[in-house]
Chain A
Amino acid sequence: MTVTRTSRGARLASRAYVAYAAQRTAQAVAVVLLAYCFTFLVISVLPGDPVTATLRNPQNNFTEEEVQRIIAYYGLDRPVWVQLWEALSRFVQGDLGLSLRSNLPVTRLIGDVLDSTLVLAGSALVVAMVLAFAIAYGTRNAPTPVAKVLRAFPSLFLSVPSFVIGLLLINVFAFQLGLFQVIDSEGPAATFFAAVALGIPVSAQVAEVLITNLDHEARQEYAGFATSRGLSRSRLFWRHLLKPSSLPVVTVVALTVGELLGGALITETIFGRTGIGSLVQRSVTTQDLPVLQAVVVLAAVVFVVVNLVVDLIYPLLDPRVDLRGATRRVRPVSDLEPLEQGAAA
């Protein structure tokens, strides 16, 4: 243990790590800024001008003065590049603009509903991890026919539309068994089932990687040696296979963050929850583009930050990772995507 600890400390201070960390952080910042530009351009360059169409829509009760004020605020009368530059400098200062619908700051609108979505996404992640590890454990330790069936689970989970899972859960557990009320959509029971609906597709991805890694580790010589020494299956699993197999899962989980946020859109709609997803849903139908853009950028920020943190921590967790010359994401040795490693070289 002491050996690992000193080597970890030494690694943290090593020049290779500092260079790697600096480079990854710079990349992350660049990606966030580019993501903002990208969504801005998608919204303003694509055909159709929903902004002015919305503003001039008589239903919205904007006076001509207000319309002019908003248009001037967003600089819609100026060239796209100027608008982009203004919006970007505002974004860097943390100003995400005003909602076209309610005239409230977008940051406040998002802040109001963020809690609910974070709770949902967090619980979905927990559900996904528990489910994934249970499936992976079953494929190694259950009797062969059961294990075979379990191996088909990830692929099945990935093939079911998430709204079908949600509807199925509501139908069975709310309507037939009465375990939760659809009306009480923020209650703990309803939250749990919403988290299950959101977590199942994510669990499939985690389980797939976990099973592949476990199979890979089980083929190693040390596993064969341990078996020949008389170790039972479950002891082999807990003592030897689990740790090296679950390390790469950290990177996979970080990659599914985007899915949790995107999937929340459908799950929240089905379960009638308020949150980022329902905010997006509402902004889409009312063409409230500043809100939409802010949510997309926020999702990109969350994704980038989570992945940055994982990338910075990973070399400390796994001493096998070679940092020399690594500028992109580093991967474990028993890599699932050997292509990516070749690309980084």
Chain B
Amino acid sequence: MTTLTTEGRSTSPGGWKPSALRRGRGSGRQVPIGVLLSFGVLLLVVGWSVVPGLFTGQDPAHGVPADAFQGPSTAHWFGTDHLGRDEFARVVHGSASSVTSALVAVAIGVLVGGLVGLLAGFLGGWVDVALARVVDVLLAIPSFLLAVVVVSALGFETINAAIATGVSAVAVFARVMRSEVLKTRRAVFVEASLLLGGSRWHVLLRHVLPNASRSVINLAVLQFGLSILVIAGLAFLGYGDPPPASDWGLLVSSGKDYPLAPWLVYAPALVTIATVLSANRISRWLRKTD
């Protein structure tokens, strides 16, 4: 809540930001309610993907034809689809693949991009120049197109879509990691550590990495949300696992064929939006508390 009030104040005409003193001591430590809510949403979604059986008793693959196209009700929270399958169960069971693929994508981005950025920033010289060009190339290719090309070379499977999304995220992580490393390398405490006889490896592991990790974690949270969007887009176009699977993007894609049952589109769409929105909110909060 505190952040909200300060934001409100800074919009006053003139826009003077109240001094840190006037905002009150320790005001930055309270977690805003929106952020708590976002954590709740992400926890719920992760829960869905780990133990789907705990959240829905229905079988996502088993349909009752007589119950087809029922609107949302207490029996079927998100309604039922054209085969009478419970849409809520399908969303819950589909979250495993959506969330895991996003995590895989983020992991690829963090590891590969982080390594590239670390090498470029820490070694400098021609390594930096060469890696900078590679990153430029990755940035120049629209990330969604890149993901489409990678997934069509690897084959249409959700795990390949995740890898493709990860590849398209490498450039961003490399860039952030590199600039963080450069920033830290010039810091006085790094110089002191080197003067005290610390080896390059010691400085790298003890000082540079921990300092850089903050921005990278923040970016990883943001990228988690973006990856969910990209993977949903790939699944929507049919580049993920085929229909018995129930990826969120795939659910929207199959739901769009029934305009008279709009909940088949809106339910998975709203779940996706809530997840991405939560990731964005948490990322913004992390950036602010830095």
Contact = CB atoms under 8 A, between A and B. Distances in A.
Interface of A: 27, 30-32, 34-35, 38-39, 42-43, 46-48, 50, 139-140, 144, 147-148, 151, 155-156, 158-164, 167, 171, 175, 215, 218-219, 223-224, 227-228, 233, 236, 258-259, 261-263, 265-266, 269, 280-281, 284-285, 287, 289, 292-293, 295-296, 299-300, 303-304, 328, 337, 339-340, 342-343
| In the A-B complex, the 7 residue pairs with the closest CB atoms | A218-B15, A262-B144, A262-B142, A258-B142, A339-B179, A227-B14, A159-B276
Interface in B239-290: 239, 249, 252-253, 256, 259, 262, 265, 269, 272-273, 276-277, 280-281, 284
B39 interface: no
Contact of B153 (A42, A258, A295): A42
Given A31-B136, A337-B179, 12 more contacts: A34-B136, A42-B150, A48-B155, A50-B152, A155-B284, A158-B276, A163-B232, A163-B253, A227-B13, A280-B148, A295-B145, A339-B180
B225 interface: yes
Contact of B182 (A38, A139, A236, A342): A342
- Could you tell me the dominant secondary structure of chain B's interface residues? helix
Interface stretch (B4-12, B53-61, B69-77, B193-201): B4-12
Interface of B: 4, 7-8, 10-11, 13-17, 132-134, 136-138, 140-146, 148-150, 152-155, 175-176, 178-180, 182-183, 186, 225, 229, 232-233, 236-239, 249, 252-253, 256, 259, 262, 265, 269, 272-273, 276-277, 280-281, 284
A141 to B, nearest CB: 10
Contacts, number: 175
B8 A148 contact: yes
Contacts of A296: 141, 145-146, 149
A258 B221 CA distance: 22
Contacts of B239: 284
Given A48-B154, A159-B277, A266-B236, A304 B10 contact: no
A163 B138 CA distance: 24
Contacts of B132: 328
B233 to A, nearest CB: 6
Nearest to A216: B15
A49 B7 CA distance: 55
Contacts of A303: 140-142
A287 B152 contact: yes
- Could you tell me the dominant secondary structure of chain A's interface residues? helix
Given A158-B280, A215-B10, A339 B141 contact: no
